[in-house]
Amino acid sequence: MSLVQPPTNRYYEWRVLPDNGCVTFWGDFRHGKPNVTFNCPGTYQLFGTLYDSASQIQIGKTDTLFIDASNDTLHSAQPVKGNDELSISASVSKAWYNVQPSDPFPPTRAPDEVSIGLILETSEQYEYNSSFIEIPTESTISNNSYSYVFSDSVRLVSYPFTSGIGVFSKIQQGITIKGLQFGVPADLSIEWLGKTYTGKITLLNEDEFVIKWNNNGNVKFKVLINGSLVEQ
């Protein structure tokens, strides 16, 4: 008998002791391949009775498996490292709405929206692949002012299963600055590790922009595509 592919003409009836309603069987458990979820901590005995599907005669039993299910542990978030630097790449982003299949790409008409995209990357690495983690950010946008406050801890954005354990990577995430007016400087503020960094960003036209920023702190603009950096 194959333990990987049990015969489908056999029927399994699974039992668990204590039968306290905390255990769920799922998957193809009727044919010998059970998935088991323990919803309460405790020590359990798991075993199955094997029947012939045609005659319904009992033909055997499995060994008893003893399982200790411990309490779930909620691990605290990873703190942002105190020496971490946030580097920023910036570029112009254009959007056209109601584009027809016959229109060229990019369309020859002016874009419906022009924004500045920021890609922010940490200098330090944190556990789990970068696709599973982020630094929570709060934004406040009003009166031509754009403010972003980064948390002091890293959080999981999706459950990584086992693929992220022991893997370390830099965090990379994006911000889109919308609503800029051509030629009008806007205030830009970023709070990082409890310190606020400020500057100005000006969208000159649909292809160019200028950022006025002091790059001596822990928040630095590293790459600007179709943009220029002015030290303040």
Which residue in the block uniquely carries the two structure tokens 């779930």? 72
What is the tens place of the pLDDT at every residue in 30-52? 777 788 888 888 899 999 888 88
> What pTM did the predictor assign?
0.66
pLDDT band at 9 (very low <50, low <70, confident <90, very high): confident
Compute and round to an integer the Cα radius of gyration of the chain.
29
Q: Where are the domains of the chain?
A: 10-69, 78-231
Report the chain's mean pLDDT, rounded to a whole number: 88
Q: Tell me the C-alpha distance between 132 and 78, whole Å.
A: 13
Choice between 141 and 8, residue whose per-residue pLDDT is larger? 141
Point out the least confidently predicted range of 51-55, 145-149, 205-209, 218-222: 51-55
The burial of 171, by beta-carbon neighbours within 10 Å (0-12 exposed, 13-18 middle, 19 or more buried), is given as buried
Which residue in the block uniquely carries the two structure tokens 């992220």? 164
Q: Identify any residues that bridge with 11 across adjacent strands, giving them in sequence order.
A: 51
Choice between 54 and 164, residue whose per-residue pLDDT is larger? 54
Nearest to 36 by CA among 5, 12, 57, 9: 12
Whether 64 shows a pLDDT value over 50: the answer reads yes
pLDDT at 162: 54
Report, as an integer, the average pLDDT of 96-119.
89
Which residue in the block uniquely carries the two structure tokens 């995430």? 173
Tell me the C-alpha to C-alpha distance, in Å, between residue 7 and each of 49, 52, 54, 62.
Answer: 14, 10, 13, 15
pLDDT at 114: 96
Number of C-beta neighbours around residue 179 at 10 A: 12
Nearest to 118 by CA among 206, 205, 189: 189
Give the sign of the dihedral formed by CA 152, CA 158, CA 164, CA 168: negative
The DSSP line for the chain is --SSS--TTEEEEEEEES--S-EEEEEEGGGTEEEEEE-S-EEEEEEEEEEETTT--EEEEPPPEEEEEPPP--PPPEEPPTT--EEEEEEEEEE-SS--TTS-SS-SSPPSEEEEEEEEEEEEEEES-GGGEE--EEEEEETTEEEEEE-SEEEESS--TTTTTT-EEEEEEEEEE--PPTT--EEEEEEETTEEEEEEEEE-SSS-EEEEE-TTSSEEEEEEESEEEEE-
pLDDT band at 2 (very low <50, low <70, confident <90, very high): very low
Whether 77 shows a pLDDT value over 60: the answer reads yes
Whether 58 shows a pLDDT value over 70: the answer reads yes
What is the tens place of the pLDDT at every residue in 10-37? 888 888 999 888 888 877 777 777 888 8
Number of C-beta neighbours around residue 109 at 10 A: 10
Whether 1 shows a pLDDT value over 70: the answer reads no
